[in-house]
Amino acid sequence: MGLCTDPATTYLKRLGYNVVRLPRENIQPLHLLGRQNGTVEYLGSLEKLITRPPADPPVTTRDQAAAGINGQKTDNLSLSIGINILKGILAQFGAGAGIEAQYQQARKVRFEFSNVLADSVEPLAVGQFLKKAEVDADNPVLKQYVLGKGRLYVITEVIKSNEFTVSAEKSGGGDVQLDVPQLQDVVGGKLKVEASAGQQNTVTYKGDKQLVFGFKCFEVGVKDGDITLFTAQPGAVAMAINSSTGVVPGDSTLLDEGGLLELEGI
């Protein structure tokens, strides 16, 4: 399914974000992503492009309240997609094996993110840093993704949460009755499971880790001989589950217009 038609990767597009279908830690501002010849790779931090930085790198402001994202929901997702996403979330907390059995009556699920925080850098500050910095002209990343035929992106903002609310529906409509004690047994003590008031089909999983589920990025390019930033459209890059290999903690892929692509190194 192409990126432009997949609700699992576009529900944050109208808010200006790209989606992480497998929410996870360790995605941060000033990290680089590169795309070339149909392959997308995680490349490391922006500082690795610089040989003689003009000053300290742009400051990352952390744990800002993201009021505009709180309460935002995905569209209804098919059970197979939704359960893979849920398993991926729970796996980051070391839990979730056997969660499918608790949702076997469901046909559609959707997610809501609460307690959302943001980490960000100012794009203008990143642009000024690059413009004034001495860039490593021999760096293969620069040659391949900026001076060559590839594309290079720098992450400028991530949004994260430790609470993930899941609603389940039966085929043709109707709510699924979820058993909170059984769900708590499945996840053990890794997370706390709570039912939403008056909604037997909706539960919230809360853990002790902040998992990134969305990000903004800018394209790195050359203008008038200087390394600078260009606007990247929201929804153009989305971190996604690799459905061919299943959900593996520490594994991730990127989804662009061409489909699922392997992403190594995060």
Q: What is the pLDDT of residue 4?
A: 47
In a domain, 100, yes or no: no
Question: CA-CA distance, 12 to 21, in Å (whole number)?
Answer: 11
Phi then psi for 145, rounded to 5 degrees?
Answer: -105, -20
For residue range 151-203, what is the model confidence (pLDDT) as tens digits?
A: 888 999 999 999 999 999 987 778 889 999 999 999 999 899 999 877 889 99
For residue range 9-38, what is the model confidence (pLDDT) as tens digits?
A: 667 787 788 877 778 888 899 998 887 776
Q: Which of 51-55, 96-100, 119-123, 151-155 has the lowest mean pLDDT?
A: 51-55
Provide the pLDDT confidence category of residue 71 given band limits of 50, 70 and 90: confident
For 58, the domain range is 3-78+110-163+206-263
In a domain, 224, yes or no: yes
Other CB atoms within a 10 A radius of the CB of residue 15 amount to: 14
In a domain, 92, yes or no: no
In a domain, 243, yes or no: yes
In a domain, 241, yes or no: yes
Task: Answer with the residue of higher pLDDT: 251 or 34.
Answer: 34
Q: What is the pLDDT of residue 253?
A: 37
Can you spell out the DSSP letters for the chain?
--GGG-HHHHTTGGGT-EEEEEEES---TTEEEEEETTEEEEEEEGGGGEEE-SSSPPPPEEEEE-TTTTT-BPPPEEHHHHHHHHHHHHHHTT--TTGGGGGTT-SEEEEEEES-EEEE--HHHHHHHHHHSEE-TT-HHIIIIISSS-EEEEEEEEEEEEEEEEEEE-TTS-B----HHHHHHHHTTSSEEEEETTEEEEEEEEEEEEEEEEEEEEEEEEETTEEEEEE--TTSSEEE--TTT---TT-EEEEETTEEEEE---
For residue range 113-161, what is the model confidence (pLDDT) as tens digits?
A: 889 999 999 999 998 888 888 877 788 877 788 777 788 889 999 999 9
In a domain, 12, yes or no: yes
In a domain, 85, yes or no: no
Q: Which of 3-17, 38-52, 73-87 has the lowest mean pLDDT?
A: 3-17
Q: What is the pLDDT of residue 3?
A: 46
For residue range 194-250, what is the model confidence (pLDDT) as tens digits?
A: 998 778 899 999 999 999 988 899 988 877 767 778 887 776 665 543 333 333 333
Mean pLDDT of 75-79: 87
In a domain, 90, yes or no: no
How many distinct structural domains can be found in the chain?
1
Question: CA-CA distance, 46 to 218, in Å (whole number)?
Answer: 12
